[in-house]
Amino acid sequence: MFRVSPNGRFLQTADGQPFFWLADTGWTVLQRLDCDETLEYLDDRAAKGFNVVQTMGIMEFDGLRVPARANGEVPLHDLEPQTPNPAYWNHVKWVAREARNRGLFLALLPIWGDKWAGGGAGPVVLTRHNAEKFGRWLGEFFADTDLFWVLGGDRIINNENQYHTMENMAAGLRAGDSGRNLITFHPNGSASSSYYFHHDEWLDFNMFQTAHTHPSRETFTYIARDYRKTPPKPVLDGEPRYEDHPIHWNYREPEKWDESNGYFTDLDARKAFYMSVFSGACGHTYGANSVFQCDRNFYENGERGTFGSRLHWRQALQLPGAAQMQWGKKMLENRAYFSRVPDQSAVRGDLGEDSEKILATRDGNGSFALVYVPSPRKFEVNLAVFNGAARASWICPRTGNCETLGAFSGGWTRFQSRQNGPDWVLALDVTGA
């Protein structure tokens, strides 16, 4: 079981240990992979340091009607949330168990947004009238399973009926599992759960979405906005730019996409991670275009797969950004955890803008500071925030390798980031800490 930390900023285990959310978007794993493929996927993500898999119980597209590849079952009898199909959900429980055996936990989105808010394959089957019963059934079914509940599914709240549908779903889940598992809400791009539910007791932590088509989106502004809200709640980006996703992709008119826009790279994925986490996020979600949809298509005869994908999902597992996420996670896990705060006042100089902005986070008690530098830059750090001399090191976010510079003390001190690589993390740790 997981809980929110006493200061309302982080996630932790039931016994109070830090839990840094590092998720992969395996949205379609439950319905599009067979059992052997599922284990292959889980093994890979566990080996790369992930501890959460965001996945859809009832998939987008035609998830109500297309049987799961693993067992040939559909999630509901007669498209009716009041009559779930246990045979289908038994497979979900099996995946949750196999994930747990590898140190992974499902962030389970029970039913995608097109099934309660419209705007997609649908049909709309979940309403304010049946949501509580469906939620209660799911909560009871998974009452012995450690996971996270994620409501929503790429939608915002447009009216009172939609609000009450989510409210009733949450009430059902909480009643069914007796509050065992935390609940959040997954909105569409440029939105946050805090817009609609921040003051609702059932919302345990906030999730926003910067979306996966924009090359420059000020992640830190989303974090800062939710970070300032009261009461404090943990916040994270549940869908940033996806590695190998076409930039400025036009979902409505894909044929109009301009090839010259290119694709997001591992550098883009790293920027999303550090800009989010160093701004105060309790974790981060990574995504790869072909992995999230378990795409079996790839470039053949010049044709792209869904959403412009160009790799088989198995090939996309090996995109470099996925393995690089773990180094940021380890940086934070190896330092004072629950007292960490974002602090832009600790740095000055040419700090940049948007995805090129230098961002700093530090221990509120003065034991460390970390500064993400997205491109070679000179800047200054205020060493007065430390309780003594600080040991400075450059950490490579691509490999985790560390180069120690020596000890520094005093006030404002200038640093020059390394030239061999676009981005670096400056680590400052109090000597002996």
248-293: pLDDT as tens digits: 998 889 889 999 999 999 999 999 999 999 999 999 999 999 999 9
Does the pLDDT at position 215 exceed 80? no
Distance from C-alpha of 387 to C-alpha of 116, rounded to nearest angstrom: 53
Give the pLDDT score at 420. 87
- How much is the CA Rg of the chain, to the nearest whole Å? 22
Tell the CATH topology of 2-333.
TIM Barrel (3.20.20)
Decide: 213 and 190 in contact? Cβ < 8 Å: no
More confident residue, 215 or 211: 211
pLDDT of 318 higher than 60: yes
**Higher confidence at residue 433 or residue 198?**
198
Rounded distance between C-alpha atoms, residue 416 and residue 29, angstroms:
43
Q: Return the pLDDT at 432.
A: 62
- Give the global pTM: 0.97
Percent of the chain with pLDDT over 90: 88
DSSP one-letter string for 259-289: GGG-B--HHHHHHHHHHHHTTT-SEEEE-BH
Contacts 24+ apart (CB under 8 A), 228-232: 229/194, 229/198, 231/8, 232/7, 232/8, 232/9
Please answer whether residues 187 and 152 qualify as being in contact, where contact means their C-beta atoms are separated by less than 8 angstroms: yes
User: Could you report the per-residue pLDDT of 405-427, keeping only the tens digit for each?
Assistant: 999 998 999 999 988 889 999 99
323 pLDDT more than 70: yes
**pLDDT tens digits along 88-116:** 999 999 999 999 999 999 999 999 999 99
- Write the pLDDT tens digit of every residue in 150-159: 999 999 999 9
The CATH number of the structural domain formed by 340-430 is: 2.60.40
Whether the Cβ atoms of residue 236 and residue 388 lie closer than 8 Å to each other: no
Q: Report the first-to-last Cα separation within the chain, whole angstroms.
A: 30
- Whether the pLDDT of residue 305 is over 90: the answer is no
Kindly tell me the sign of the dihedral angle through the C-alpha atoms of 158, 58, 21, 17: positive
Segment 221-235 shows an average pLDDT of 95
Which of left, alpha, beta for 85 (phi over 0: left; psi -120 to 50: alpha)? Answer: beta
Distance, in Å, from the CA atom of 283 to the CA atom of 390, rounded to the nearest integer, reads 26
Q: Is pLDDT at 300 greater than 80 in this prediction?
A: no
- Mean pLDDT, all residues of the chain: 95
In this structure, the dihedral spanned by the alpha carbons of residues 108, 114, 116 and 122, taken in order and rounded to 10 degrees, is: -110
Distance of CA 325 to the CA centre of its chain: 11
Residue 301, pLDDT score: 65
Size of the chain in residues: 433
Q: What is the pLDDT of residue 214?
A: 78
What pairing do the DSSP bridges indicate for beta strands 11-13 and 183-186? unpaired
Ranges of each domain in the chain: 2-333, 340-430
> Which pLDDT score is estimated for 302?
66
Alpha carbons 424 and 322: distance in angstroms, whole number = 17
Question: Omega of the bond prior to 123 within 30 degrees of 0, cis?
Answer: yes
Q: Taking a C-beta distance cutoff of 8 angstroms, is the pair 103, 51 a contact?
A: yes
